[in-house]
Structure 1
Amino acid sequence: MEVNLRHLRAFLSVAQTGSITRAADLCHISQPAVTQAIAKLETEAGQPLFTRTPQGLFATEAGQVLHHRTARAMTPLDTHLHEIAPRLVLTATRAQLQALIAAAEVQNFSLAARRLGIAQPTVHRAITQLEREAGRALFQRSPLGIAPTRAASALARVARLAFVELDQARAELGDLLGREVGQVVLGAMPLSRSYILPQALASFRATRPSLTVKVLEGSYDELLAGLRRGEIDILTGALRDPAPIGDVVQERLFDDTLVLLAGKGHPLAGRPLPPLASLLEWPWLVTREGTPTRTLFDRYFKSSGLTPPQGVIETGSVILMREMVQDNRHLACMSYVQAQSEVATGLVEVLAHDFGSTRRAIGLTMRADWQPTPAQAKMLSCLRSIGGRI
């Protein structure tokens, strides 16, 4: 929700005390200011947040939704602000924190301004005001740019997640009114893009026909970083063992294996697979180093006392692999689930199923403390349902 942080703190105090008077005392502002804050929030929500009675104010269903999300957003945010300087809890604004987030991520005032769509002096002024109230520098300046201090980096991450939580509040309030508000953002690794997601999205669309869904592609490291920043809701694809970091959780949907692929008419097609050493003579396509597929591929050769194929073409593209093996020279190693469509249509031939006994877990990665909105929960249900059928 694009609302004043002070208004949210006033709302939390009213929800806690059931009284405008006591909320005003707790927030150190006037009663009319608290009343005005609640009125603005109700206008933004499009529905009453409190029921007014002689005994006090009681949160409506919408008020309970907003209270839950706001508490999740503001508690860690205010804790981090207080650790830097107690005064920041009272003075830091949403605009200042958005400037801090952008500057911390791109480490340049001009690029931060471009990202936010505002003038560079505005970003510089917002950061300067935060630093003045904090009584210390939040960025280290150099001719190469700016680098956030450890405290600034931590505050930027918590603030970003707080704003994500408030966006989720807006989506849930819209749900109460029967409106499609917000969006679902999926991070998709190659396997999920070719098989799981198309079916899950079709199922989701049947019940949520007008909600925006974004599917972001990229390397695992890029998608994981986006997930942790709150830019991505759910990451789909091969799981890591162990989990990459403690603030995410992984959920296994099914196990996949690797297959050895060739084009129709390849000299090895229709014959028993030759000794592994002889496969080193062929040019290969396989995913880049660091991916689960590549790790298992290399491990298979090494476990047989062989050096993995050299001079490989590194790609995660099913289309490129499919086209390259048509020359009847190249071999490709990839996920069986990912290759199913090409195999079913006869575009490629499987020389070996479960190549090298390379079973691995496929599933979902999410933030450990994430609480999905109804729309996000529906998407989770669709992904789980499709994964359970494989």
Structure 2
Amino acid sequence: MLNQRIKLRHLNAFLEVARRRSFARAAESLSITQPGISKAIRELEENVGAVLFERGVQGVSLTQAGLTLLRHAGPAVRALEEGVEALADAHGGQRWLRVGALSTVESHLLPAAIQHWHGSPQGQDVSIQVVTGTSAFLLSRLALGELDVVVGRMTEAREIRDLAFEHLYYQSLRLVVRAGHPLAGQPLDTADPLVDYPWALPPQRTTLRQQVDSFCVRHAISVPHPCVETLSLPISRRLTLDTDTIWIAPFEAVAEALDDGSLVELGLAFEQRGGSVGLCLNTTMQPTTALHGFCEVLRRVADQGIG
């Protein structure tokens, strides 16, 4: 039985601090004082008999006990919110699936899956809300119960622990440039010529950036400056087509441009097999029939071959 001294305000305070990684930002978000939110967390820790947060120079982080509570508290509070929302919107009958999308699936897998979904009888009355961002951001929201599923390449992310990942296919990063780029069609025995041009690459502290850093270490080079760090596919594509920028891109994002010749892959392999693209679920949340159906659509589209 739930400890009757634990109130919804305690859980809301806990979830907001976990989300914001800061007592001050959490207090501002909830429109209460910082002493007020500190008191709520202290009371919750006393009630559960465990320390939930550790304070550091970079803010606060969850302890192992905090991570355990987060796995259950987030989905539980979200389920309560959805119940209230369902009562309020019962007359409309509208239902939603909340999907987190990493840049590795924005160009083909997810758009194709949504198209198939809305073309199926089951998808006629279930809308899709797509949230984009880094793997850390999306997986944290999944752990909080604010997303139903996250799709993309994310297996290296620390936040994936305690979540259930299902592999769909492997996808590699590619080095691509515009047709007519000075390096296009040139044999490359080393990576040294790459540093003479600007790069468009994933931001630091992302799953994809870890692969970029590993590539640089293997070839004894450093990321050139200036460069552009972004997860935006349109920005990276435009820069690559209009300038001498080298784009380190997921294959799915550049496949069509490589086929039509507007982009050219450099003659130096970035990854051999690539990373695992898949879907991630929070097993503490009761999956709906709609979620089961949408995940099956993702599997069918992935089986058609994207690589």
Same fold (TM over 0.5): yes
Structure 1 residues 94 and 310: CA distance shift in structure 2, 3 A: same
Aligned residues: 294
SS of alignment partner, residue 184 of structure 1: strand
Equivalent residues in 2 for 1:1-390, closer than 5 Å: 78=2, 89-94=3-8, 97-98=11-12, 101-102=15-16, 105=19, 112=27, 115=30, 127=40, 134=47, 158-166=72-80, 180=93, 182-206=95-119, 207-241=122-156, 244-269=159-184, 271-276=185-190, 277-304=192-219, 306-311=220-225, 312-352=227-267, 354-357=269-272, 359-390=274-305
- The structural deviation recorded for 1:200 is 0.9
SS of alignment partner, residue 295 of structure 1: helix
- The structural deviation recorded for 1:213 is 2.1
- The structural deviation recorded for 1:346 is 4.2
Structure 1 residues 152 and 283: CA distance shift in structure 2, 3 A: closer
Structure 1 residues 220 and 104: CA distance shift in structure 2, 3 A: closer
Structure 2 residue ranges without an equivalent (≥5)? 54-58
SS of alignment partner, residue 341 of structure 1: helix
- The structural deviation recorded for 1:353 is 7.9
- CA deviations on 1:316-364 (whole Å, 9 max, x unpaired) are 2222222222345222121111212333454322334853425221111
- CA deviations on 1:1-21 (whole Å, 9 max, x unpaired) are xxxxxxxxxxxxxxxxxxxxx
- Greater CA radius of gyration, 1 or 2? 1
TM-score by length of 1: 0.60
Q: Is the 8 A contact 1:182 1:211 kept in 2?
A: yes
Q: Is the 8 A contact 1:186 1:214 kept in 2?
A: yes
- Give the root-mean-square deviation of aligned CA atoms: 4.3
Counterpart amino acid of residue 124 in structure 2: P
Structure 1 residues 340 and 90: CA distance shift in structure 2, 3 A: same
Q: Report the Cα distance in structure 2 between the residues aligned to 1:224 and 1:313, rounded to whole angstroms.
A: 25
Q: Is the 8 A contact 1:191 1:338 kept in 2?
A: yes
Greater fraction of residues in helix: 1
Identity over aligned residues, as a percent? 21
- The structural deviation recorded for 1:380 is 0.9
Q: Report the Cα distance in structure 2 between the residues aligned to 1:103 and 1:361, rounded to whole angstroms.
A: 31
Counterpart amino acid of residue 202 in structure 1: Q
Q: Report the Cα distance in structure 1 between the residues aligned to 2:157 and 2:10, rounded to whole angstroms.
A: 37
Q: Report the Cα distance in structure 1 between the residues aligned to 2:183 and 2:206, rounded to whole angstroms.
A: 27
- CA deviations on 1:23-64 (whole Å, 9 max, x unpaired) are xxxxxxxxxxxxxxxxxxxxxxxxxxxxxxxxxxxxxxxxxx
Other-structure match for 2:56: none
- The structural deviation recorded for 1:103 is 6.0
Counterpart amino acid of residue 110 in structure 2: L
- CA deviations on 1:118-163 (whole Å, 9 max, x unpaired) are 887xx87x949x67x95999999xxxxx989977886566333222
Q: Is the 8 A contact 1:283 1:329 kept in 2?
A: yes
SS of alignment partner, residue 194 of structure 1: coil
Q: Is the 8 A contact 1:190 1:237 kept in 2?
A: yes
Structure 1 residues 318 and 248: CA distance shift in structure 2, 3 A: same
TM-score by length of 2: 0.74
SS of alignment partner, residue 225 of structure 1: helix
- CA deviations on 1:283-342 (whole Å, 9 max, x unpaired) are 2222123434333334334334x2234223222222222222234522212111121233
Q: Is the 8 A contact 1:170 1:182 kept in 2?
A: no
Structure 1 residue ranges without an equivalent (≥5)? 1-74, 79-88, 141-145
Counterpart amino acid of residue 257 in structure 2: E
User: Greater relative contact order: 1 or 2 (C-alpha under 8 angstroms, separation 6 or more)?
Assistant: 2
Q: Report the Cα distance in structure 2 between the residues aligned to 1:110 and 1:251, rounded to whole angstroms.
A: 34
